[in-house]
């Protein structure tokens, strides 16, 4: 069967794979990693598959329609996000009209709201719920038959005449070593230089060594909508084998980024990985997502194995807020971690969320000052972004703090984050403004600017990513976030 896997056109360089899908102020463009995994699974099942990443390649809808007409797929799979969902359904309708094939939506938004998604348009034939690699494989197998029995396919909601059917959920994939190397799919379908993470050396490759996260942060999107709070991991030999493949097939790669929700969740496994890297004599630079609770000995082992940077969700400088969002970290522990990371020689990209449960203007001020005091290599300030399927969305909806349920308002006209959380004494517009303030105060500091100049002089390999990121970020530092012109629909 011919299958088109599509990251649909929307805003230029819109990152659906991000945990807060939007157009990044630092120019970040994520790999369509989960679509790529599904592409590999379908290929291994014997299907003719084509993966197209429209936002990264700046492809408009008419061009995508042309690709579909030429490829003649029997099934089209479209990724979705909350902010882009109405656009994604419109793309599905356009493709359905021209290609006249079975249309499936996947991703975080439709996983959380499958029946809602099917009710929006008859052009959508099915929706995958949660992890969808094997769900798409089994669906394609049924559609290849003369009389498909879609009721047998675990993990889908689908249209049967005028009725919507929701099938039994699919168990999580336990043996992740069964999955193909996602980097092999990148090699076949994607252009490496289209993808950029401001904190990482450029060009980079993003892979995962595990899925899910054992922690309980109320706002975190992927564990609550796709991969669960069970951390399932690939074997270390399997990960090492993919690293060897990347080093051979992507010789320009400056850094490998592990996009696990929390790469450091299992300290013993981290040390096992670091030992294996050194035993194999592999020389490469890598980075990963981590919590602000990694001990110095583990950080030291990571540095010795080539770790350059950790992307860390710090979120707040107020302990009560950390407790309310079930972060499971302590303010003093975060400070200790930052000192240990600097002592180990590992850079930190710090992530801060303004507007969580219990937030006030005073706690926001405290968090901005905390960020400057911690002084990570880079920092991002997001307004609270709540998505269907998360505890945070339910909390703010029940409190009556959502200004709209029009999902298109989750981003502004540019595609940047546009929080729809507003409460007495702290409006959504003020939250966005505080994020602008946080960025300006963090980045426009003589100490920070001097540090970056010194970094460029002493570590020339950092210059390409510094130049690429600062060019995009600078315009936001100067003028702030463009405010939404239209009022949010109530």
- 387 in a structural domain: yes
CB 191 within 8 A of CB 52: no
- 411 in a structural domain: yes
Domain that includes residue 333, residue range = 197-479
Q: Based on the domain organization, do 284 and 146 belong to the same domain?
A: no
Q: Based on the domain organization, do 474 and 407 belong to the same domain?
A: yes
- 102 in a structural domain: yes
Q: Based on the domain organization, do 87 and 145 belong to the same domain?
A: yes
CATH of the domain at 136: 3.40.50.2300
**Which residue among 166, 188, 218 closes a domain?**
166
Q: Based on the domain organization, do 125 and 250 belong to the same domain?
A: no
pLDDT for the residue numbered 463: 63
Q: Based on the domain organization, do 326 and 434 belong to the same domain?
A: yes
Q: Based on the domain organization, do 417 and 296 belong to the same domain?
A: yes
- 119 in a structural domain: yes
> What is the pLDDT tens value at each position of the chain, 490 positions in all?
999 999 999 999 999 999 999 998 778 999 999 999 999 999 999 999 999 999 999 999 999 999 999 999 999 999 999 999 999 999 999 999 988 899 999 999 999 999 999 999 999 999 999 999 999 999 999 999 999 999 999 999 999 988 999 999 999 999 999 999 999 999 999 999 999 998 899 999 999 999 999 999 999 999 999 999 999 999 999 999 999 999 999 999 999 999 999 999 999 999 999 999 999 999 999 999 999 999 999 999 999 999 999 999 999 999 999 999 999 999 999 999 999 999 999 999 999 999 999 999 999 999 999 999 999 999 999 999 999 999 999 999 999 999 999 999 999 998 988 899 999 999 999 999 999 999 999 998 888 778 767 777 777 776 665 565 554 555 555 555 554 333 333 3
CATH of the domain at 453: 3.80.30.20
**Which residue among 151, 166, 181 closes a domain?**
166
Q: Based on the domain organization, do 411 and 457 belong to the same domain?
A: yes
- 15 in a structural domain: yes
pLDDT for the residue numbered 464: 63
- 188 in a structural domain: no
pLDDT for the residue numbered 480: 55
Q: Based on the domain organization, do 162 and 222 belong to the same domain?
A: no
Number of domains in the chain: 2
Between CA 177 and CA 235 the distance in angstroms is 7
Q: Based on the domain organization, do 83 and 227 belong to the same domain?
A: no
Between CA 384 and CA 420 the distance in angstroms is 8
Q: Based on the domain organization, do 153 and 70 belong to the same domain?
A: yes
Between CA 139 and CA 134 the distance in angstroms is 8
- 189 in a structural domain: no
pTM over 0.85: yes
- 247 in a structural domain: yes
pLDDT for the residue numbered 48: 98
Between CA 310 and CA 313 the distance in angstroms is 10
pLDDT for the residue numbered 27: 84
pLDDT for the residue numbered 485: 36
Give the phi and the psi of residue 408 in degrees, each rounded to 5: -65, -20
How many of the other CB atoms lie within 10 Å of CB of 458?
8
Q: Based on the domain organization, do 219 and 96 belong to the same domain?
A: no
CB 10 within 8 A of CB 84: yes
Q: Based on the domain organization, do 156 and 205 belong to the same domain?
A: no
Place of tokens 């006030």: 360
Those residues whose C-beta lies under 8 Å from the C-beta of residue 332, and which sit 6 or more positions away, are none
pLDDT for the residue numbered 484: 37
**Which residue among 166, 188, 212 closes a domain?**
166
Pairing verdict, β 307-315 and 347-354: parallel
pLDDT for the residue numbered 360: 96
Between CA 159 and CA 166 the distance in angstroms is 9
How many of the other CB atoms lie within 10 Å of CB of 461?
13
């Amino acid at each position: 069967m011919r299958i088109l896997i599509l990251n649909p056109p929307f805003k230029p360089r819109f990152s659906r794979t991000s945990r807060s899908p939007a157009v990044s102020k630092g120019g970040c463009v994520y790999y369509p990693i989960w679509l790529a995994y599904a592409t590999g699974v379908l290929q291994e099942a014997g299907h003719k598959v084509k993966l197209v990443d429209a936002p990264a390649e700046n492809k408009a809808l008419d061009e995508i329609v042309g690709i579909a007409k030429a490829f003649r797929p029997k099934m089209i799979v479209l990724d979705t996000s909350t902010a882009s969902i109405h656009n994604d359904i419109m793309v599905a309708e356009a493709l359905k009209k021209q290609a006249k094939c079975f249309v499936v939506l996947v991703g975080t938004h439709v996983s959380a709201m499958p029946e809602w998604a099917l009710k929006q348009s008859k052009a959508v034939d099915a929706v995958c719920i949660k992890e969808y690699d094997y769900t798409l494989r089994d669906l394609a197998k049924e559609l290849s038959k003369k009389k498909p029995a879609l009721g047998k396919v675990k993990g889908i909601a689908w249209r049967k005449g005028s009725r919507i059917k929701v099938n039994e959920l699919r168990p999580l994939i336990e043996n992740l070593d069964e999955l193909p190397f996602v980097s092999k799919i990148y090699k076949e379908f994607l252009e490496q230089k289209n993808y950029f993470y401001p904190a990482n050396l450029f060009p980079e490759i993003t892979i995962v060594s595990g899925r899910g996260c054992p922690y309980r942060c109320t706002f975190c999107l992927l564990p609550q909508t796709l991969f669960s709070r069970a951390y399932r991991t690939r074997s270390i030999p399997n990960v090492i084998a993919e690293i060897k493949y990347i080093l051979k097939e992507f010789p320009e790669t400056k850094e490998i980024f592990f996009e696990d929700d929390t790469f450091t969740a299992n300290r013993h496994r981290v040390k096992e990985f670091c030992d294996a890297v050194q035993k194999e004599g592999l020389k490469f630079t890598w980075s990963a997502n981590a919590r602000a609770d990694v001990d110095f000995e583990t950080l030291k082992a990571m540095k010795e194995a080539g770790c350059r940077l950790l992307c860390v969700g710090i979120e707040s400088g107020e302990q009560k807020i950390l407790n309310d969002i079930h972060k499971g970290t302590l303010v003093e522990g975060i400070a200790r971690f930052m000192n240990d990371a600097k002592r180990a020689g590992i850079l930190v990209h710090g992530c801060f969320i303004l507007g969580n449960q219990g937030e006030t203007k005073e706690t926001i001020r405290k968090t901005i000052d905390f960020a400057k005091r911690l002084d990570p290599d880079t920092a991002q300030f997001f307004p609270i972004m709540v998505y269907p399927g998360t505890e945070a969305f339910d909390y703010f909806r029940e409190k009556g703090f959502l200004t709209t349920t029009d999902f298109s308002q989750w981003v502004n006209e540019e595609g940047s984050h546009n929080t729809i959380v507003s409460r007495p004494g702290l409006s959504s517009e003020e939250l966005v403004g505080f994020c602008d303030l946080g960025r300006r105060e963090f980045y426009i500091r003589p100490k920070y600017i001097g540090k970056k100049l010194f970094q460029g002089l002493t570590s020339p390999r950092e210059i390409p990513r510094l130049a690429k990121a600062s060019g995009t970020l600078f315009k936001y530092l100067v003028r702030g976030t463009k405010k939404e012109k239209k009022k949010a629909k109530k």
